[in-house]
Chain A
Amino acid sequence: MKQIFRIASILALGALAVTATNGMANAKDKVTVGYIGPITGKVSAHGIAGRNSADLAINLRNQDPNSKYEYELVALDDECKPNIGIQVATKMATDKHVSGAVTHFCSAVATGAVRIYHQFHLPVVVWGAISPSVTYGNDYKEIHRTIGTLTSQNKVAVDFLTGLGYKKYVVIYDTTDYGKGHLEAFANDLLATDGELLEAYGVAADQQDFTAELTKAKSLNPEVIYFAGLSDLGIRVRNQMEKLGIEAQFAGVSGIISDTFIDGTTASEGSLAMRQGAPVEVMPGGPEFIKKYADADYKDPAEAYGVYAYAAMNVLLDAVEEAGPDRQAITKALNTMPAKEYSIGMVEFDDHGQNVNSLVTPLVVQDGAWVTWDESEYASGKRTLKGK
């Protein structure tokens, strides 16, 4: 009998404690925000990193006593497939509890889904997709993007590479819109310079073997092999260049920037790449993000673009803080948001919702790490690139 009393009293105490904490939490209103990214499938590393980073932003905000609301995250998986993307976008956008969302890594998915957000008036901040059409292909007030488009990136790439004196280029691009978009922008910008595009080879996004393309490229004697695609493919291209003894300089788009690229290649030293924004270490809030991400002890690494999801989520949360949980009010707050500094640098939207401050920084691999060009030993002349 005593025992029963004891158990009952413990239970009662527990219940009391739970209600008490609940009561405290309820002091703030709950606001639900969403995250969409590829959590399964080939690019899931980025999708999971993005989800963790968005989650981190929310947890930190919830710990902040000054925040007006208690935030809750709903994360959905678009599998990097447009049809699934439209499905989950509909789910997110028609869920009345969701006030706003941070969405999409894959450009084709984002391009298809923006119409849904517009239709159901859900304000979103795109965190990872960089095809220009996501913001510039429409006039939707709901769509914003903190990451820059690939157009700005290639302009810098062309100026940087021709500035180094390279004239003959071969491009290897994956035939998804990501790679192809880069190719078009790169080729277009190259026309304005004395650089020459010798040939461009399209490759499938899941291709293993590039020796045939590279052997052809070798016969053209390029000075630079410019790679437009994601790190998986970049690793294979770089390794196989080495295998075939191609002595051209390797340069890539922002998609190859990841620790995986350095771990995965046998010859990463001296590879160039254009970073959308700055590397996370030198971003205004980068070191802080890295530290907090590490403290939160997620199972998976933050990857190169985790910080973008983190920043995008913070932009959204700031808008909610200012305008409250109403969707239309958030959209308005985002559209009229003054320029403000986030972990990725200044964020300021133009009338298409595109962040105009898309800084691009050339990076180079030096001793197993991505280093900003200006601070590298290659810039100071201590080491030299291929063909220099």
Chain B
Amino acid sequence: MDIGFIGQHLVNGLMQGMIYSLVAVGFTLFFGVLDVIKFSHGDVLMVGVFAGLTAFFGLDALGIENPYILVIAIILFSTALMALLGIVIAKILILPLKGAPPLNILLITLMLGTLLRESVRLFYPNGSNSKAFPAILPTDSFTWGNFSLRLDSVMLFVAGAAVIVGTYTLINRTRLGLAIRAVAQDEETARTMGINFGFIVLFTFALGSAIAAFAGVMNGFYYNEINFSMGLLLGAVGFSAAIIGGLGNLYGAILGGFLFAGLQTLAAAALPFSSSYKDVFAFAVVIALMAWRPTGLIAEKAYARV
């Protein structure tokens, strides 16, 4: 295989990895503050893209054509709306269930996912069909032999990286981030230190959901196609990625996301069996990794409360 194709596969994998990582970051944030798995995460992402698409139609109807205004407006609208949805979900479904068996939150968010998915399918105009996501980013492409890279892909990748860096800075360099980390480490101590627990939880859910919306919009701009069931598999993959990386750890989520994408690409591109086995291969490796590192590649600080 020549170097151009290797480069192409690398770029493909990196783009996918970025999307997976963004989804995984959300899982890790929720798990950090509340020790919960929010399974509707993938579907929140999906609702986010549809919100973005609606914003596009709205602006289009107003006659706004400048692509940069459009892109920024789509992202802002979608992330803001999903942040709000995240707060509502946390307030109505997650916080009241804090005392219940942890699996209940899993089931309830699972059902919420179905609810969101079915709602978009039934109530979004012609929602059961795939929709084109506008390709408004510049599509100038750079070709070098067999390697082809489009400007929009580069822009999306950079934007995704910026979001991850921003989240990292927020968590590790600000007072708010300090409070989030404090809650993640020990809720009760954090409370006694005067941290507003409810606020921190709501903020984290808003943040995680907004990142999901961003990942969704990025997914939309990259593949130019969205549909009501896109969140299901992205959610499962994002969750797996967060887990193999090690829950509650931003690095872990990022590592997991890229690793998963890498495995899929490797299986499809370089391994001798049919590419339809690529998911089988990726998930088999995940299982094997879990046997080797039971708490993820970057292990949680292990201590057990007895």
A residues in contact (CB < 8 Å) with B: 40, 42, 44-45, 48, 175, 201-204, 206, 208-209, 211-213, 215-216, 218-219, 231-232, 235-236, 239-240, 243-245, 258, 260, 263-266, 300-301
Contacts of A212 in B (CB 8 A): 9, 12-13, 264-265, 268-269, 275, 278
Contact B233 A175 (CB under 8 A): no
Minimum distance in angstroms from A179 CB to a CB of chain B: 10
In contact, B132 and A201 (Cβ under 8 angstroms): no
- B269 near A215 with CB under 8 A, answer yes
Least distance between A336 CB and chain B CB atoms (Å): 39
Of the stretches B104-112, B145-153, B240-248, the one at the interface is B145-153
Query: Is B91 an interface residue when CB atoms closer than 8 A count as contact?
Result: no
Write out the residue numbers on chain B whose beta carbons fall within 8 Å of the beta carbon of A45.
126, 128-129
- B275, A208: Cβ atoms closer than 8 Å: no
In the complex, whether B224 has a CB less than 8 A from a CB of chain A is yes
Q: How far apart sit A206 and B278, CA to CA, in the bound complex (Å)?
A: 13
Chain A residues near B121: list those with CB within 8 A. 44
Q: Complex: how many Å from CA A211 to CA B153? A: 13
CA distance A123 to B2 in the complex (A): 58
One of B9, B219, B279 near A215 (C-beta < 8 A): B9
What are 25 A-B residue pairs whose CB atoms fall within 8 Å in the complex? A45-B126, A175-B276, A202-B275, A203-B276, A204-B276, A206-B229, A208-B234, A209-B264, A211-B15, A212-B268, A212-B278, A213-B268, A215-B269, A218-B5, A231-B130, A232-B225, A232-B227, A243-B150, A243-B153, A244-B8, A244-B148, A264-B129, A265-B224, A265-B225, A266-B224
A245 CB, min distance to chain B CBs, angstroms: 4
A183 to chain B, nearest CB (A): 11
**B143 pairs with A245, CB closer than 8 A:** yes
- B132 (CB) vs chain A CBs: closest residue: A264
- The total of chain B residues at the interface (CB under 8 A) is 44
Q: Write out the residue numbers on chain B whose beta carbons fall within 8 Å of the beta carbon of A208.
A: 219, 223, 230, 233-234
Is B141's beta carbon under 8 Å from chain A?
yes
B223: shortest Cβ distance to chain A, in Å?
Answer: 6
Q: Is B209 among interface residues, defined by CB-CB distance under 8 A? A: no
User: Which A residue sits closest to B127, measured CB to CB?
Assistant: A45
Cross-chain contact B223 with A216 (CB below 8 angstroms)? no
Q: Which residues of A have CB within 8 Å of B268? A: 212-213, 216
Kindly provide the distance from the CB of A240 to the nearest chain B CB, expressed in whole angstroms: 7
Q: Output the residue of B5, B132, B222, B279 with the most chain A CB within 10 A.
A: B132
CB-contacts of B121-161 with A (<8 A): 121, 126, 128-132, 135, 141, 143, 146, 148, 150, 153
Q: Which of A206, A232, A265 contacts B233 (CB 8 A)?
A: A206
Residues of the A chain whose Cβ atoms lie less than 8 Å from the Cβ of B103: none
Closest-by-CB residue of A relative to B16 is A209
Query: Please, how many angstroms separate the alpha-carbon atoms of A202 and B237 in the complex?
Result: 20
Interface of chain B residues 200 through 251 with chain A (CB within 8 A)? 219, 222-225, 227, 229-230, 232-234
Contact B269 A216 (CB under 8 A): yes
Question: Which residues between 1 and 38 of chain B lie within 8 Å of chain A, taking CB atoms?
Answer: 1-2, 5, 8-9, 12-13, 15-16
B249-280 residues at the A interface, CB under 8 angstroms? 264-265, 268-269, 274-276, 278-279
Residue among A232, A243, A264 having the largest count of chain B Cβ atoms under 10 Å: A243
A268–B269 Cα gap in the complex (Å)? 26
Residue in A206, A263, A266 whose beta carbon sits within 8 Å of that of B135 in the complex: A266
Complex contacts, A202 vs chain B, CB 8 Å: 274-276
User: Known pairs A202-B274, A265-B224. 8 more at Cβ < 8 A?
Assistant: A45-B129, A202-B275, A212-B268, A212-B275, A215-B5, A243-B150, A243-B153, A263-B131
Q: Is there contact, CB below 8 Å, between A264 and B8? A: no
Complex CA distance for A199 and B229, rounded to whole angstroms: 29
B143: chain A residues at CB < 8 Å are: 245
Contact of A218 among B146, B150, B278 (CB under 8 A): B146
* Shortest beta-carbon distance from B196 to chain A in Å: 39
A133 to B40, CA, bound (A): 39
List the B side residues contacting A236 at CB < 8 Å.
223, 225
Q: Does the CB pair B148–A245 fall under 8 Å?
A: yes
* Bound Cα distance A51, B109 (Å): 32
Chain B residue at smallest Cβ distance from A240: B223
Q: Are A211 and B276 in contact (CB under 8 A)?
A: no
In the complex, what residues of B have CB within 8 A of residue A258's CB?
Answer: 129
Q: How far is the CA of A110 from the CA of B88 in the complex (A)?
A: 43
Residues in A neighbouring B276, C-beta threshold 8 A = 175, 201-204
